[in-house]
């Protein structure tokens, strides 16, 4: 059985997202999504589609339509964090237990990996706890949907981490490994010992 992950790099084009000393959220998110996609190629049975592959304007509605039309198994939106420092994750306040379990598994995987960098865990949240009070994409996709947000680009220490390509690679690997564990997918070359995907 094959799993399709829809990665959504936050913002893009004229929507720059959060602005740091040198970095823009839209660029950081796209780079991380590319790295996650590459890491997931190491696992059997996982395919990836991206809502944007370069720096272009994509509306929230277009992102949702892309995920729905491709019949993705999971919609994962990547952002940096605002107002706070550290790391958090979101699901819709109306999300069911299955979506919340996915959020919990992925959140715990990433929180553990980021802790070694001194990135604090701000907890699992509902979209009503965002500045705008809801996340359209989490409510209108026809598959489980989670947003993860890490690193405040206006914080000097976290901006420095976001600028570090080695950190980005390790962060992306943590995301990919977490997704592979959720769907019980084995690494390529381990066909005899692991699941292809459940």
Contact between residue 75 and residue 145 where contact means Cβ atoms under 8 Å apart: yes
pLDDT in tens, 140-177: 999 999 999 999 999 999 999 999 999 999 999 999 99
Q: Which CATH superfamily is domain 3-182 in?
A: Zn-dependent exopeptidases (3.40.630.40)
Q: What is the DSSP string of 155-197?
A: SHHHHHHHH-HHHHHHHHHHHHHHHHHHTTPPBTT-TTTS-S-
pLDDT in tens, 86-140: 999 999 999 999 999 999 999 999 999 999 999 999 999 999 998 777 789 999 9
Whether the per-residue pLDDT at 193 is higher than 50: the answer is: no
Residue ranges of domains in the chain? 3-182
pLDDT in tens, 12-48: 999 999 999 899 999 999 999 999 999 999 999 999 9
pTM recorded for the entire structure: 0.94
**How many angstroms separate the CA atoms of 48 and 111, rounded?**
23
């Amino acid at each position: 059985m094959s799993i399709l992950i829809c990665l959504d790099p936050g913002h893009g084009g004229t929507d720059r997202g959060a602005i740091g000393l040198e970095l823009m959220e839209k660029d950081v998110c796209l780079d991380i999504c590319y790295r996650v996609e590459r890491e997931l190629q190491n696992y059997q049975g996982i395919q990836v589609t991206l809502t944007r592959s370069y720096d272009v304007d994509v509306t929230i509605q277009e992102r949702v339509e892309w995920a729905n039309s491709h019949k993705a198994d999971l919609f994962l939106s990547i952002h940096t964090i605002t107002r706070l420092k550290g790391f958090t994750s979101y699901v819709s306040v109306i999300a069911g237990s299955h979506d919340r379990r996915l959020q919990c598994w992925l959140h715990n995987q990433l929180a553990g990996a980021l802790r070694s960098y001194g990135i604090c865990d701000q907890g699992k949240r509902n979209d009503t706890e965002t500045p705008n009070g809801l996340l359209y994409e989490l409510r209108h996709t026809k598959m489980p949907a989670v947003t993860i947000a890490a690193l405040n680009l206006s914080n000097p220490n976290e901006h420095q981490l976001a600028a570090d390509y080695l950190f980005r690679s390790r962060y992306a690997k943590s995301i990919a490994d977490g997704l592979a564990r959720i769907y019980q997918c084995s690494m390529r070359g381990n066909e005899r010992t692991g699941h292809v995907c459940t």
